[in-house]
Structure 1
Amino acid sequence: MKHYRSLLTIILFTFKLGVGGANAQLVPEGSQQDPVKGLSLAKIFSSNMVLQQGKANAIWGFARQGEAVTIHFAGKVIKTKAGTDGKWKTILPVMDYGGPYTMRIEGDNRIELTNIMIGEVWACTGQSNMGLQVSSVDHSEQEIAGANYPKIRLFSVPSRLSQFPQDDLEGGHWVECSPATVGKFSGVGYFFGRALHQRLNVAIGLISSNVGGTSAEIWSSPDNMLQDPDFSGPVKKLQSIDLVKQKQDRVEHITRFAGEFPTKDKGLLGGVAVYAAPNLDISTWSNLQVPAAWDPLFVGVGWSRKEFMLTKEEALQPIEIHLSRIDDDDISYINGEQIGATLNVGDRVYRVPAQFLKEGRNLLTVRILNRSGIGGMCGKAEDMFILSSAGKQSLAGTWKFKLSEILQHGLDIQKNDYPTILYNGMISPLIPFGIRGIIWYQGEGNAGRAQQYARIFPNLIRDWRAHWGLGDIPFLFVSLANYTRPPLQPSESSWAEIREVQTATLALPNTAMAIAMDTGDGNLHPPNKQDVGARLALDALATIYHQHVVYSGPLYKSMAIVNGVAQITFNTMGSRLQSKDGDMDIRGFAVAGSDHHYYWAKAKITGDNTISVWSEEVKEPLTVRYAWADNPGSLNLYNDAGLPAIPFRTDNPIVIHP
């Protein structure tokens, strides 16, 4: 018991100090701003920044109560003073494109910012596909080497969770875009900004604020979520909890499950997989039903073991181990021999040579490291199996499990535990910095909750606009990329439903959407971010900067059934339908009759904006779907500007009102 108390003291002390990572920087009440030691600026302001052209930009900071603050900028002098709360704020003059400028801020001390440009400023927000860095995109070495754009300026917001809205960021500074700085910046953000800079020839400021694996409600403000029927309760709970006590409760919960609080993985010592040994005594291990997500508090390392049988004939030939989706990293073993290791979330398929197998009982062991959020073997039961010469043998069911290490940051509130915690820490401190608009790539984290997302997503847009106070600022977003394997037959799709919500959100003013379902390779994080950024830039060029470019693929308009054939009309926005690959058979359509059973359909372009769709299996079609799948496969319906048609269904589509 003495040891347990000592360990708990260490854990709680670590919490007070703070631990690195998005899941560890939860800021409790009362920590808005350290005691003011002198005049300072909010951290979004620094040398090399871009201020928004044509707007009266706000500037703010902190100072001694009542301290006089004077700003010298572009030949103007602006005076203000700090309030009783030690905060000051004022407005800079409206300016046209140009620079570089120097700004001097004077009070009890003096601050000087240099190399300031006036240009176009965009916030780059969302989850991991917005956060995927230039260093991880296709042709990354060439992209980084060619990133000499000193008039593009980059700002990366540090990851931070917060219990309440914050006044300032934890850090960050503006840098010029160069091969030395671009590698760790958002790929989508950079390619978007580069395209604007090349077309407009003005300075571009990009603010990257995103965290992987997050849902939209996490990025919404408390004002918004307190009005939401599903999330008002959790927000109230977040605002009332004692963070230190909650951490203590989590330590006790894990200790009850594991019999101890595991601080170091004893299953992998000096490169030796102790817990993969076939003769290991596992009588104290727990039973775990697989596939299933781990307990949300299990952020760390866990080992799972399962035995399976092979005949003599099966053991003489290689087999395949299909583990479906694992979150996050794994090392897998057969009979104590490593057969594969993979980083990051995704499906696992490992080929096992016959030399590792034996007749009779064989042992499969999987070591999983969950770095944050949900972890474990989280795929589908039908995708978990052994494939041998005799066929499939299911791996779903009861496994033996041991929790072997808990990462300290996992004891804190995690990024998806409560609504608002990323808005509080990573969006609120940016407001009301002057921006032209926002680009957004998110939705994966809300898959399976489309009806709810149809409320949350448009409300997030309205919410951010209201808080920024800049009117209906442009909000451009990405429709989800293709993910996993294409289906063999038409079926329901949670990702298609999210795409439908995104399309419906175009009903809001000053919105536009970039299609990405032809940019992926089936992985959760497709590396082709060039096309995504370029398509977002087309949205901006056409809708905000009034350039004469086609920015959208064909959008469903109407349907008429004539003699058993569905005649589909598209809004082609000044372009024409075409087959991208020249094949006159257009792929991706499915039709259903009164029984609502969908069959793959044939389709042919019949005009600049029309297409005919039919199936021999459905004599009297009633409804049509296009590209309705997590991964709709290789599609060829585009416009003559090279942009793909937007997915749709005619049966019960989600509708969003402006």
Structure 2
Amino acid sequence: MKRIDFLIALLLCCAVGCSGKGEPAVPEGGNGGLSEKLTVSPTLQAHMVMQQNKPFTISGTGTAGQYVEISCSWEGKPGRVQVSADGSWQYTVTTPEGGFDAQQVTVSGKQTFTFDNILVGEVWVCSGQSNMWWPLKDAEGGLSEMIGANASLPIRLLHVPQEQASAPVASLSARWQPCTAGSLEWFSAVAYFFGKQLVEALQVPVGLINASWGDTTAEVWAERDAVLANDAIREQALKQDATPRADAQAPYRIGSAFHAMIYPLRDIPVAGAIWYQGESNMDAPGTYPELLATLAASWRKLWKAEAADFPFYIAQICPYERAFDYRVPYANPAMRFAQQQASKLIANSGVICNDDIGDIHNIHPRNKQDVGKRFAFLALEEKYGKAGQPRSPIYAGLRINGRVLEVDFSYAGAGLETADGTSPTYFEVAGADRIFHPATAEISGHTVRLTAAAVPEPAFARLGWSYTHTTNLRGKGGLPVSVFKTYDWVEPTEEP
């Protein structure tokens, strides 16, 4: 009877070991002690923000057959994992609800690594070209934010170095930093203002990952094989792949920034991404929606995330005077409209309009605070379920009623209005001849009714189809309505 009891106890011990809850059996050649050698992957760092309520995998290398012990301040007892035969180990924990109390993770072998001052909250990737990169020190209101910053502010910053590579880079070289005047000086202003608004609204810490680079096309940020596998965008992408940028340091090969700046982030759980780019793709706005959809899909695949769990929000570029010799007419409004189309093509996406804060003489408007806030409004409503956030109405559809064109708008909330109380400006209509004439516009709830004496049989409409002319039409929340067109041909001539 005693022998049977012993065998039962032995089987129970083996079961506990195999479940991962206890210490597993020592393989042949192992001594069962704490690992003589130990490294920890830089995915885990002091001062970071961990995404709340998500699995987080801690990994590294050690002595095969020996053990690594992991202690998390939010868990009741430490866990233990055995180093595999190839010298690697990994251990997955589940993060708690977000909060402002600092947490600590300790990883021990024969030596101990302590990662302290960790916060748990929401983590976002912030990427794009120069308007996302634009540093806080050069933005409106940026200096006062820097002066008032201190390390207790529950925003943490991960500034990814501008690097490019022809193959994926496995390890992360960037370091998480608390908010100080020094760490904020060259950090993305848009990202910072976005994070600040989220902290105020959600009352949890926010981690911001800035991976941006001026004068880059979207092709360099997407996974190379995904771009080349897409017949709709391959030809244009290969043209970009063979064309160095005006900034000789900027990457231009497909996937080169993805490999060096996005791929190393893959093991950091995130809430989603915000994207501010487009100026460098204005030669081909027609392929941009499909290109951006391919980029978003490749990022979601990298993070092993479903679209529902990984929002991808887009900032429209601003209007500014035609300063370059683009290959297509009306390149700037065409790109702004293409970004709207991309937001409709990409699941769990959205677009913010910045027409009212642009500087027509500067491709880099200094007002980054409103851009960041508008990103936050979009995330708060769509990701976090906080209804009633301000949002820019966008074109939804067209009806022809005799001499009248009726244009409908989505996200118009309580209706439409104009910034100055006059009739809506910069609407145009055309008939079958495709010649556009200024239209008289009248607001009716979520709809604008258009007529033009010169167009008795209207068929097409557009709004603000210009580099510099922007409409006074707004949603009742005060945010601008951006450009649109109701046709798919490319204008044969440039804007006068």
Q: What TM-score bracket applies, with the shorter chain setting the length?
A: 0.7 to 0.9
Aligned to 2:69: 70
Kindly indicate whether residue 414 of structure 2 is the aligned counterpart of residue 566 of structure 1: no
Give, in angstroms, the shift of residue 296 of structure 1: 6.5
| Residues 49 and 205 in structure 1, CA contact (< 8 A), matched pair in contact too | yes
1:222-237 pair list within 5 angstroms: 222-229=224-231, 231=234
The TM-score normalised by the length of structure 2 is: 0.82
The 2-side partners of 1:49 and 1:588 are apart by: 47
The 1-side partners of 2:228 and 2:57 are apart by: 27
The 2-side partners of 1:483 and 1:64 are apart by: 59
Please point out which of 466, 470, 473 is paired with 1:629: 466
Task: Find the residue that maps to 1:518 and give its secondary structure.
Answer: helix
The 2-side partners of 1:573 and 1:567 are apart by: 15
Aligned to 2:136: 134
Please point out which of 481, 498, 504 is paired with 2:335: 498
Higher RCO, 1 or 2 (CA under 8 Å, sep at least 6)?
Answer: 1
1:167-206 pair list within 5 angstroms: 167-169=170-172, 171-206=173-208
| Residues 126 and 275 in structure 2, CA contact (< 8 A), matched pair in contact too | yes
Please point out which of 156, 159, 167 is paired with 1:156: 159
- Name the stretch that deviates more: 55-64 or 524-533: 55-64
The 1-side partners of 2:329 and 2:429 are apart by: 13
Give, in angstroms, the shift of residue 177 of structure 1: 1.6
Task: Find the residue that maps to 2:466 and give its secondary structure.
Answer: coil
Aligned to 1:46: 45
The 2-side partners of 1:83 and 1:415 are apart by: 41
| Residues 216 and 252 in structure 2, CA contact (< 8 A), matched pair in contact too | no
**Identical-pair percentage:** 30
Q: Deviations over 1:81-117 (max 9, x none)?
A: 5556654433122311233111111235321111011
| Residues 463 and 471 in structure 2, CA contact (< 8 A), matched pair in contact too | no
The letter for the 2-side match of 1:142 is: S
Distance 1:509 1:176, change over 3 A: same
The letter for the 1-side match of 2:372 is: G
Give, in angstroms, the shift of residue 187 of structure 1: 0.5
Aligned to 2:378: 539
The 2-side partners of 1:234 and 1:477 are apart by: 20
Q: Which has the higher strand share?
A: 1
Distance 1:232 1:45, change over 3 A: farther
The 2-side partners of 1:50 and 1:506 are apart by: 28
- Name the stretch that deviates more: 120-129 or 219-228: 219-228
The 2-side partners of 1:38 and 1:166 are apart by: 24
Give, in angstroms, the shift of residue 45 of structure 1: 2.8
Please point out which of 277, 289, 293 is paired with 1:454: 289
Kindly indicate whether residue 215 of structure 2 is the aligned counterpart of residue 218 of structure 1: no
Aligned to 1:374: 246
Distance 1:546 1:141, change over 3 A: same
Aligned to 2:17: none
The letter for the 1-side match of 2:51 is: Q
The 2-side partners of 1:545 and 1:44 are apart by: 26
Aligned to 2:256: 421
Task: Find the residue that maps to 2:78 and give its secondary structure.
Answer: strand
Give, in angstroms, the shift of residue 70 of structure 1: 2.4
1:377-416 pair list within 5 angstroms: 415-416=250-251
Aligned to 1:92: 93
The TM-score normalised by the length of structure 1 is: 0.63
Give, in angstroms, the shift of residue 594 of structure 1: 1.3
| Residues 412 and 475 in structure 2, CA contact (< 8 A), matched pair in contact too | no
Kindly indicate whether residue 481 of structure 2 is the aligned counterpart of residue 609 of structure 1: no
Distance 1:211 1:58, change over 3 A: same
Aligned to 1:588: 426
The 2-side partners of 1:156 and 1:66 are apart by: 36
1:450-529 pair list within 5 angstroms: 450-472=285-307, 473-484=310-321, 492-507=329-344, 508-522=346-360, 523-529=362-368
| Residues 550 and 574 in structure 1, CA contact (< 8 A), matched pair in contact too | no
Distance 1:80 1:423, change over 3 A: farther
Q: Deviations over 1:265-297 (max 9, x none)?
A: xxxxxxxxxxxxxxxxxxxxxxxxxxxxxx977
1:23-38 pair list within 5 angstroms: none
Distance 1:89 1:232, change over 3 A: farther
Q: Deviations over 1:593-629 (max 9, x none)?
A: 1111222323222x21121222333232210011223
The 2-side partners of 1:577 and 1:524 are apart by: 28
Q: Deviations over 1:552-594 (max 9, x none)?
A: 22222222233422222222443210011222x2112121111
| Residues 124 and 210 in structure 1, CA contact (< 8 A), matched pair in contact too | yes
The letter for the 2-side match of 1:442 is: Q
Task: Find the residue that maps to 1:461 and give its secondary structure.
Answer: helix
Show structure 2 runs of 5+ residues with no match: 1-35, 491-496
**Structure 1 stretches (4+) deviating beyond 4 angstroms?**
62-67, 81-87, 230-235
Give, in angstroms, the shift of residue 211 of structure 1: 0.8
The 1-side partners of 2:107 and 2:235 are apart by: 41
Q: Deviations over 1:287-325 (max 9, x none)?
A: xxxxxxxx977xxxxxxxxxxxxxxxxxxxxxxxxxxxx
Kindly indicate whether residue 445 of structure 2 is the aligned counterpart of residue 445 of structure 1: no
The 2-side partners of 1:153 and 1:596 are apart by: 52
Q: Deviations over 1:162-183 (max 9, x none)?
A: 11001112x3221222333222
Task: Find the residue that maps to 2:55 and give its secondary structure.
Answer: coil
The 2-side partners of 1:540 and 1:444 are apart by: 23
Aligned to 1:282: none
Task: Find the residue that maps to 2:355 and give its secondary structure.
Answer: coil
